[in-house]
Structure 1
Amino acid sequence: MEEKLLILKMLEEGKINSEEAIRLLEVLEKGKMSRGHATNKDFSSKKLNETINEIGKKAEKFAEKFGPDFISKVENVSNDFADAAVRFADKIIIYLNSGIKNIENYNEITKNYTLPVSNEYMKINIKTQNLKVFVNGSDTKEFTAMLTLNLYDEEINIDDYIELISGENSINLESNFPINIYGEIDISIPNNIKELQIETTNAKCLFNDIRASLLSIGTTNGKIDVENCKLENLTTSTNNGKTSVYRTSSHFAQIETANAGVEVTESSFDTLKASTSNNYIHLNKVISLGTGEALYDAQTTNGRIILTLPKDEIPAYKINAKTSLGNINLTNLESTFNIESNDDNAQSEAVITANNYEENENKVLINAATTNSSINISKE
């Protein structure tokens, strides 16, 4: 029983996907499981990606046959099938969480690291695996990292798996824990550093109140949340995990995910490039960082694009919207926008321009493109 619960906990933490969990449970039932089997190189998330992409291709064939009306009806039933899968998994995880830590021989160990940060040119690089990453900015002149590891019926020395190198202008922390160890790393950094680069796998990443020239985030099979950050350059990359950016500013931002949604809310950029597949993008009350024309690109396939414009007239917006086998839906725009639309068989295109776009000093140009789904544009 303990082995089954451990497999389910590994699924919860993102160390394995649902297919791998089923395979492990099948092996366990046959009495062939050993501790080393968890490292089988055949285990990967590629099968999940291939399955989702195959479903996307089938959706395209249905859409080509039945047209935009089919897409509209499908959207009324389910908002992107990938989201439905995530919601189902979340319910299972909540159920498991109720008692998983009561397993006999389940242990939790911690380790703290603290280093001084002497100048604003500091570059901080973190590379780990299967650990959730939480990073907060602070007014101190220290870098702190607290590791919390969850172990099952074993003991380890954390220092044996950590490489921590610090110099005058850099801090590098890298871990190499066994695959059957999971947990989290809680990091605090000073404000106004030069670079923060985070890389992990099978885990979520959460960032709050960061002040840096560069914030670079990479994970797999985990979500990324960025809140209340002031940056010069922001890059995020994940798959099978949602990316959320909230009340954040950056001159340049590139957000990439697959099979999951992208939400950017009450944030400002000079340039934003957001892309996903088989899921939605929502730009909610985004504005320009300064004067001039900001450029926002939103691209997805088999998923909706939602553009929610603020109710005031600053900045002025121009939107180039394009979809195939879907509709472009406009709400509360007619009085203050000039709308040019063109529907040609399966293609729908529209250019929506604020009446005061040319003379306004603060402008946002949004290019929105999707396939097999709708583009919904509205004003508060």
Structure 2
Amino acid sequence: MKIFTEKFEYDVTNIRKISIDNKMAPLSIANSEDGKLSVELEIALPDNFSNASLDSFISYAVENSKFKLDLENLAAITGGAFQLTQSQVRVLIPQGLELKVDTDNLPLRLLGLTNKISADNENAAIILDSCVGDLKLENENGPIKLTNCKGNLTIDQENGPILAEEVSGDMLRVSSENGAIKMRLAQFTDLSVKNENGLIYYESMPMDFGLMRFKNENGKIALVLPEEMGYAIEAESKLGRVISSLKAEQQRMGRKHLFTNGDQSVKIEVKTQNSSIRLGSDPSINLGAFKSKLDDLREAIKNATSIEDNEKVQQILNKTVESLNTIKDKVTETKINEAIQNSINSLKDTIAGVNWIETKDKVLSTIEKIGTDINSNLRKFFEKVRQTDGEGDAQSGFGRHFEDLGDQLQNLWNKRPNWFSSGGDVDDELPRDVSEQSRRKILQMLENGKITADEAERLLRAIGKE
């Protein structure tokens, strides 16, 4: 096999929306720095294609400020022989443009984008990292994974897990069937998470207000909340138990369990049909809240150029210190408590009376070090708390309540590593009728002339049938 590389660039000065239809190879999309749209190909082809030209497999059209890019299937020149695992397409797009991506049987990665995004895939993974903007994701027979993303989020998933960590926005809508959902360090003031035949696990960051709704048919629901957050929870399981380690007032009305804490400003509804509900708190969630505020502080300092900006920095500093004091009050180990207090004092001293223009880089570096020290000390303490809770009663603390759920998710995730490379076999994990539906759909597409025989063969292999 030989690796062929080509690069194409397009002027999208007056474009507001980019649409990409990918049938070529695993695709990654990131932001461009020069304001242009570029396509970089690295395609593994058989040795006899010494003079292969790939430009005929890329086409585009411009209409009404919309740029449509088509990346065609290479089966016509390879006979299906080229190696997906050694091939990739990398697309760079300008910030701020709306993006729509459609791909089948090929993994999709979206990295560091600042765009409104709609992504649709089938039989392979969708992976997002450090994206900012409203997101709409649809997938079938493949996992969805998000890390460090901000914006309103809508997910429609079938036959695959959803994993998300450090995600936030105003609105969250998740609908899933036949797959586990795990969301850690999440913060959405208006959320609805629905699942059928799979686990729901959700860790909420601290919020001042909000509405959270969780509904499951045939799977557990595990909800982890910050200890100091004010909430009113209504939890109901028709055929299972409701188990709680929350330090909250509790009432029971038939099958409904009511839990209230603080000002009750966050309303939470939790319902499942045929399994249990587990509610708990985890003080280490506050680490995520502190990290978020520290990120805001660094960003404000980085962009500060005026007296008004300095005042904004001071306001964010006050909120960051308040968050730290909340965490520190829960630390019972004297040495760690004192170390955190020293870090708080250092943080205040670093910000006080700073000339932003001359010392900005030094301040940012110092804050980074202070944040690392605080995080290290807190993790040591919370790890000891976890070990202590794990040795106690099964209904106390957060230690045992969620270990089994985390293990289930990790085991489920580990069973599907091939989804991240070539969108490979999923038949072992899918109900038989789902696989049969996919096969019938492929054969119907072949009969209607929408795909070639080679394409049909590759699709059938992708769902596990030779």
Q: TM-score with structure 2 length normalisation?
A: 0.49
Provide the secondary structure at the position in 2 that maps to 1:247: strand
Q: Paired residue for 1:314, among 207, 216, 220?
A: 207
* Residues 1-380 of structure 1 aligned to structure 2 (within 5 Å): 106-119=1-14, 121-155=15-49, 156-166=52-62, 169-179=65-75, 180=80, 181=82, 182=84, 183-193=87-97, 195-212=98-115, 214-231=116-133, 233-250=134-151, 252-288=152-188, 294-310=189-205, 313-316=206-209, 319-323=212-216, 337-345=231-239, 354-358=261-265, 372-380=274-282
CA RMSD of aligned residues (A): 3.0
Q: Deviations over 1:69-92 (max 9, x none)?
A: xxxxxxxxxxxxxxxxxxxxxxxx
Q: Deviations over 1:153-211 (max 9, x none)?
A: 54242122221234783322112223414432101112122x11111111111112211
- Distance of aligned partners of 1:374 and 1:278 in 2 relative to their CA distance in 1, 3 Å threshold: farther
- Letter of the 2:171 counterpart: T
- Letter of the 1:226 counterpart: L
Provide the secondary structure at the position in 1 that maps to 2:123: coil
- Distance of aligned partners of 1:191 and 1:159 in 2 relative to their CA distance in 1, 3 Å threshold: same
Q: 2:435 aligns to what?
A: none
1-side partners of 2:196 and 2:6: how far apart? 43
Provide the secondary structure at the position in 1 that maps to 2:56: helix
Structure 1 or 2, whichever has the larger Rg, is: 2
- Distance of aligned partners of 1:216 and 1:367 in 2 relative to their CA distance in 1, 3 Å threshold: farther
- Letter of the 2:71 counterpart: S
2-side partners of 1:369 and 1:174: how far apart? 44
2-side partners of 1:366 and 1:135: how far apart? 36
User: How many Å apart are 1:334 and its aligned residue?
Assistant: 7.8
- Letter of the 2:262 counterpart: N
User: How many Å apart are 1:345 and its aligned residue?
Assistant: 3.9
- Letter of the 1:314 counterpart: M
2-side partners of 1:148 and 1:282: how far apart? 34
- Distance of aligned partners of 1:148 and 1:330 in 2 relative to their CA distance in 1, 3 Å threshold: closer
- Distance of aligned partners of 1:375 and 1:201 in 2 relative to their CA distance in 1, 3 Å threshold: farther
1-side partners of 2:47 and 2:239: how far apart? 63
- Letter of the 1:157 counterpart: S
- Letter of the 1:220 counterpart: E
2-side partners of 1:258 and 1:369: how far apart? 20
Contact 1:302 / 1:373 at 8 angstroms: preserved in 2? Answer: no
Q: Deviations over 1:114-172 (max 9, x none)?
A: 123325x5211111215211111133211111012222354242122221234783322
Q: 1:37 aligns to what?
A: none
- After TM superposition, the runs of 4+ consecutive aligned structure 1 residues lying more than 6 A away are 330-335
Contact 1:163 / 1:174 at 8 angstroms: preserved in 2? Answer: yes
1-side partners of 2:19 and 2:219: how far apart? 43
1-side partners of 2:211 and 2:135: how far apart? 24
User: How many Å apart are 1:224 and its aligned residue?
Assistant: 1.0
2-side partners of 1:332 and 1:287: how far apart? 11
- Letter of the 2:281 counterpart: K
Contact 2:58 / 2:72 at 8 angstroms: preserved in 1? Answer: yes
Provide the secondary structure at the position in 2 that maps to 1:210: coil
Contact 2:122 / 2:141 at 8 angstroms: preserved in 1? Answer: yes
User: How many Å apart are 1:338 and its aligned residue?
Assistant: 4.6
Provide the secondary structure at the position in 1 that maps to 2:23: coil
- Letter of the 1:125 counterpart: S
Fraction of identical pairs, as percent: 20
Gaps of 5+ in 1: 1-105, 289-293
Provide the secondary structure at the position in 2 that maps to 1:257: strand
User: How many Å apart are 1:341 and its aligned residue?
Assistant: 4.2
User: How many Å apart are 1:377 and its aligned residue?
Assistant: 4.0
Provide the secondary structure at the position in 1 that maps to 2:192: strand
Provide the secondary structure at the position in 2 that maps to 1:177: coil
The count of corresponding residues between Structure 1 and Structure 2 is 258
1-side partners of 2:217 and 2:120: how far apart? 31
2-side partners of 1:254 and 1:134: how far apart? 20
Contact 2:198 / 2:218 at 8 angstroms: preserved in 1? Answer: no
